[in-house]
Amino acid sequence: MIRVMLTLWRRFEARLVRAPGPLARLHRDQQGGMLDYVMVIAAVGIPLFMLLEYLLEALSDYFGLIAYYVTWPFL
């Protein structure tokens, strides 16, 4: 079982080394520079995207409230 897993891992690693693009650069990076970028995006970018969705919803509610007050006939 371990021999099969090692064989599969070696095949995957061989494909990864030949693979073009950012995944291969991340795999070949010895100093960890690319990993730092991935970690910053994961730690900062994803929560900021979620916060942006929340703020967009709040802004939409605020716009609806202002539109309601503007169209209110008793002002």
User: Which residue ranges in the chain fall short of pLDDT 50?
Assistant: none
- State whether 54 and 75 are in the same domain: yes
pLDDT at residue 36, rounded to an integer: 77
- State whether 45 and 23 are in the same domain: no
Q: Cα 7 from chain centroid?
A: 31
pLDDT at residue 1, rounded to an integer: 67
- State whether 39 and 74 are in the same domain: yes
Q: What is the rounded distance in angstroms from the CA atom of residue 40 to the CA atom of residue 34? A: 10
pLDDT at residue 23, rounded to an integer: 64
Q: How many domains does the chain fold into?
A: 2
Domain with 6 in it: 1-30
- State whether 16 and 41 are in the same domain: no
Contact 47, 39 (CB under 8 A): no
- State whether 48 and 60 are in the same domain: yes
- Stated pTM of the model: 0.42
- State whether 41 and 55 are in the same domain: yes
Q: What is the rounded distance in angstroms from the CA atom of residue 14 to the CA atom of residue 5? A: 14
